Copies of this chain bind each other. A is one copy, B any other.
Amino acid sequence: MQIAIVLYDRFTALDALGPYEMLCRTPGTETVFVAERPGPVTNDQGALTLIAQKALDEVPDPDIVVVPGGPGQRDQMTNETLLGWLRTADATSTWTTSVCTGSLLLAAAGLLRGRRATSHWRALDTLATYGAEPTGERVVVDGKIVTGAGVSAGLDMALTLLGKVAGDEFAQTVQLAIEYDPQPPYDAGSPQKAPAAIVDKLRDGASVFR
């Protein structure tokens, strides 16, 4: 089984690496980081450079596609090389997945029309403009499309997916192996829970995102 994790300039690191850490241990699986061109790809904060092992056209039919989000997603919304690859890959994939604003790329490729899907909480309205039915859920499974909410939701998206791909026992084994027993020191991880002033600041585009 082949898992393709898509990289592009100014992706958000945890969007890609959270699911990677969950999925890469699946027995009989090869995980490949892919980008339009192989080689170094730098994240949205500029300090992290990953190596894309293969070009998109070298990985035409992965079993699982993972599309991260990040500020660079905007520049990819009209990149027909990527969008065309997403359509082709989705035609034969077992699972097509995204994290955060990666779902906007699936949407721009026409893959979410009439489907329930999620995204970063700030991007749900935009998702609707592509004919998707946005929900505020953290993980949404609609047929073979699995979307996760913002950034860290990729961990929950991928653990959900891992259960479907490799069974509940294996998924729980990975959960224990990576000690995924979250205990955040604050309870401000969603717009329903965070102080209103913080929600407003981010909604207005505070630069914490860059």
Which residues of A approach B to under 8 Å, CB–CB?
Answer: 12-14, 17-18, 20-21, 24-25, 30-33, 40, 45, 47-51, 53, 100, 120-121, 138-139, 149-153, 155-156, 159-160, 163, 168-169, 171-186, 188-191, 193-195, 198-199, 201-202, 206, 208-210
CB distance from A42 to the nearest CB of B (A): 9
Chain B residues with CB under 8 Å of A209's CB are 177
- Determine if B199 and A176 form an interchain contact, defined as CB atoms under 8 angstroms apart: yes
- Determine if B25 and A183 form an interchain contact, defined as CB atoms under 8 angstroms apart: no
Chain B residues with CB under 8 Å of A151's CB are 21, 177-180
Instruction: Specify the chain B residue showing the minimal Cβ separation from A17.
Output: B17
- Determine if B156 and A184 form an interchain contact, defined as CB atoms under 8 angstroms apart: yes
- Determine if B190 and A179 form an interchain contact, defined as CB atoms under 8 angstroms apart: yes
Partner of A48, one of B33, B185, B193, B194: B33
CA distance A51 to B46 in the complex (A): 12
Partner of A175, one of B121, B175, B189: B189
CA distance A151 to B175 in the complex (A): 10
List 20 A-B residue pairs with CB atoms under 8 Å apart, sorted by A's residue number: A13-B21, A25-B208, A33-B47, A48-B50, A50-B51, A138-B181, A149-B179, A152-B155, A152-B182, A153-B179, A155-B182, A155-B184, A159-B184, A169-B198, A173-B201, A175-B189, A175-B194, A177-B209, A179-B190, A180-B189
- Determine if A193 and B181 form an interchain contact, defined as CB atoms under 8 angstroms apart: yes
CA distance A121 to B181 in the complex (A): 12
Chain B residues with CB under 8 Å of A189's CB are 175-176, 179-182
Chain B residues with CB under 8 Å of A31's CB are 45, 47
Chain B residues with CB under 8 Å of A48's CB are 17, 20, 33, 50
